[in-house]
Structure 1
């Protein structure tokens, strides 16, 4: 007897996005790692990401916040950003992951967003700087959170009431708008705190 149940379509768009976000995030982490090496080997050399007292990497890299776990934060990115690339490639290849895998992956994405929110807070309110490569990392992590979380809610991989699943399904097509809205929140906070426009 042939089943009438059709397999769910592969999330090709999600797979492509995971690869792009992972590559962008990994490149930002790699660039920050190179800049960190420069600060260690030649502390007086100007960094390529230092544009002004406000827009710079050095203050962030040399602060304790830049090595929260005892080693430079970019090292975390070098390892962690491989995960979305691998998942994205696997999805494009036709892989179908168990629910526990999606839950674990989503937990990792939420942890990444929490870390980024903390870094944004420290950068804007404590260090008073905007690190260019750090901001690239923020820019990649925010839509990653929206895409993975809404997908998992929509597909039922995360335990949630049916109404939440329906809302997630409706919002899934609005990820670009949600991302832009999130960027605007960060931009407004930075402007109010640092007067970015006034420093140009």
Structure 2
């Protein structure tokens, strides 16, 4: 009698949700970039205030680190996450090296987002609504992926660590909230009223 391997439905569903939200944010940023190119000097639709806008980010060198607009990375990268999510939900089994490569990609995206957060808060002194949407899904995706790679045996062969990681997955939402709180605290300490601006945008 063979033991059926877990399908990790919850993780797969999250990858799909995150990919859709992240791709949509990248798509909106791409549209805003095209608008700025066609209408120099005009304000984008996501311009809320001097502090909460996309314009400054999109027009900065940080907005095109690799020689093209950063949202293009999101348009392509989130599609890979979407395919991976669908595959996980479908129960597709990947070799350890494939999961390792996926982990490297997610880690690279997380590091890049952390750098963009730092640049937005401390260099540009501007918070981009669509950028923040990207941050909001990249952070939990990274946390969940690290925990998943521990529990599925990619990062360790210890059964004890894998079992502990399985239980740790339930704490991903709390760890995400803590990460969000750190970003908010960074913005507040830098003189950017993130909570006030977001509340003003919503209400």
Structure 1-normalised TM-score? 0.93
Report the count of equivalent residues.
197
1:28 to 25, 31, 50: 25
1:95 to 82, 92, 95: 92
Match of 2:190, SS state, is helix
Q: Compared with structure 1, are the counterparts of its residues 168 and 16 closer, same or farther at alpha carbon in structure 2 (3 Å cutoff)?
A: same
Q: Deviations over 1:48-95 (max 9, x none)?
A: 111001001000000000000000000010000001110111122221
Q: Deviations over 1:145-198 (max 9, x none)?
A: 011110110121113656644543332111111111100000010111023067
Provide the C-alpha distance between the structure 1 equivalents of 2:175 and 2:196, rounded to a whole number of angstroms: 27
Match of 2:34, SS state, is helix
- Residues 1:137 and 2:126 aligned together: no
Query: Which position in structure 2 is the counterpart of 1:74?
Result: 71
Question: Once the 2 structures are TM-superposed, how far is the Cα of residue 126 of structure 1 from its aligned partner?
Answer: 0.1
Matched ranges for 1:112-127 at <5 A: 112-127=109-124
Gaps of 5+ in 2: none
Question: Once the 2 structures are TM-superposed, how far is the Cα of residue 40 of structure 1 from its aligned partner?
Answer: 0.3
Structure 2-normalised TM-score? 0.92
